[in-house]
Structure 1
Amino acid sequence: MEDSENPVSENDIDRGEVKENTESVEKSKSEIPTFDFTERSWTTDFVLTVEGTKLHVSKAVLSLASPVFDTMFQSNFKERSCDELELPGKKLNDVIEFLRCIYPNTFTHITSDSAAKVLPLIEEYQVLQLKPRCEAALLESISEDTAVEELFRLLQISSLYDLKVLRERCIDLASCRSQKEVDEATRQVQPPAEALNKILANMIVTMKERIIDLETTIEKISGENKKDIAKLKKTNAELAEEMELLTQYLSADVRNIKDLKLDGDCNWKEMQVVLLINSSDNCIKSEKEVDVWDVPLTISASNSQKGNREWIRIQIKNNGNKIICGFKGRIMIVNRQPRGLNEIFTFDDSMSFCPYVDMFLKPRYDAMDLKNGFMIDGKVGLIIQIFMSEPLRTRQIENVLN
């Protein structure tokens, strides 16, 4: 007998089988039941009451999944003889999600959101086999673009529930961010101290590596540019000194800005500056220029006479137009001794027409006396933190005054 006019090839049969199998799998997934715990059935023999709603469950399923429930149902606890248990303080949706995760006939995909909800219940009832699924879901939710605040929240979760892989991943991602991003995130979410210390240590290592790279680059520069080389080496040496000073700053309790009482209704920007004072100079002069909210500021340290003694003096000047803003901050003289105490000075100008600071910090002799611990390698280190609210410009000031 001859073949039909439109014969079916083996490839067509294969493709048809694949399509049929795929559709079958998808159909089977959609047909997997989602257990309605609010309905009683012949498989249920116990009730969990959450937020006034009765959830009908099986003691056998709970006992197989949770050693806590297993002990509860076999011991002399009252739950062994009663048919109902109230769970005060629990959220109904969280408990239902938890039950769906442990019931064998329900298909539940754990997401980062659901993981955060069920982890407290997993920990409380020791359903440890679900922890890897939750950790995997949380790991999938983060990347190099994840906000530092979110990484810090996940670090809190990883610390609470001992999720070691998640903890290390969050630390690695946060360590790649700038110090400014980490500082801003710390004000919003406080990560575990151990994790924060590791992040800061990683950032210092990265800074050291950059210094080494810079030194390597300097050595490769042509000898014709000796002046530029000398300038680069000086910049590199200053960077190394600043890094050493910042290392002590990171371990000091100057990150806490609660004492500055920043107005929550204002937008604030922070600027951090390091000044190094050379004790061998008869006339002290250390100065840096920075911009905050596009406002040019000059921050300088000098020696100045006050009474019959010579003092270290700090001045912060606005070099631009008149503005109105909140202007607060602190100045710290870093003590280089292992157990030495830093000296901290604060300034607060809640509504300034022209930000200006002029402070006499400490007699020069006291600051540079070796026994007091502020000087190392012939230099005294100062860290200046400035917080400025978003300013009103000249025209805005005229409108306010009128």
Structure 2
Amino acid sequence: MELSNRVKTLTPSSTLAITAKAKALKDAGHNVIGLGAGEPDFNTPSYILDAATSAMQEGLTKYTPAGGIVDLKDAIINKMKQDQGLAYNRNQVIVTTGAKHALYTLFQVLLNPADEVIVPTPYWVSYPEQIKLAQGNPIFVEAEEKNQFKLTPAQLENTISAKTKAVIINSPSNPTGIMYSKEELKALGEVCLKHNILIISDEIYEKLIYTDDPHVSIAEISNQLKEQTIIINGVSKSHSMTGWRIGYAIGSETIIKAMTNLASHSTSNPTSIAQYAALAAYSKGDEQVEKMRDAFQDRLTKTYEWLCEIPGVTCVKPKGAFYLFPNVKEAVKMNGFNSVNDWVEALLEEEKVALVPGSGFGAPDNVRLSYVISLDQLEEAINRIKRFVMKHQL
């Protein structure tokens, strides 16, 4: 039986592909160090686990409203007020089966055939695929490494067409870890307001920041930008709850209502137990979050220093998330490989270190590595990469 055309256009996730290959080598008995994971290595905090257990024991295991339980919506609204100073009502919030599902549902209700969404590169791997599944066109704009991988207002202005529906801003970013300042967001926002395009602000890494500069949501800057912005967030990264699959979208009542209607026919509702776990995550302080953030900051500092000592490797230092996105073009050239993809594959085969090639993020000269493993393992991984580069020097 022939598959649908929309599915035929999909590109497999490079992150999942490298993870699967690394797992196969591990299962075969090899000492593989995987740097491809996009999730914290910390367990979900115990008070959240306890809340989930209580929910099950209390019989809170039935269907919930499609857009999420009221208490969790209220907790999200309170979080937005405390953290960003933004006021929303329940009709402006939908709880989803992960932030990825929030994005997927948003594109489904937003896009018509040939509508365009501006996607700065490097990008998170699922943005373009989800846009294509909604019959839209991802329009890529290279956010250059010399500009810290940030989209400029001039680039945005020059890319907008009559078909542009939205632009994605991911700060802090996956895969680069860069973060936009308030001034930079304001300048981009002015362009969006001028052309009346929606801003999709992916803020899933907002709690994992390693600088004195605060996280700023573009919706904070003005009432006009708040009305023009859909915020995507969730508890996966901030509270080490990737497997619980709870995310949310906040913004226009019209868009949120449409997303809720669609969710009612696709997932019915996010898992009830996971919603009560997320409620606990947002009802307690951020002490556990801060402990995890501090550990990641220490890993970033040391790993970045080690990485920059490898010949042919340069790297923009991240300010958030938990990824490094070094440029390895010169190392690949020095080692005599035809592409970064070939180099990454040989590194995994020879040194048993799994990196994700940047081609999956729209940046073929780079690789992504996650510092979500112990410092000892990170040091060993960087030593293996350095050994590989030195061994293959022409």
TM-score of the alignment, normalized to the shorter chain, above 0.5 = no
Give TM-score, length-normalised by structure 1: 0.22
Give TM-score, length-normalised by structure 2: 0.22
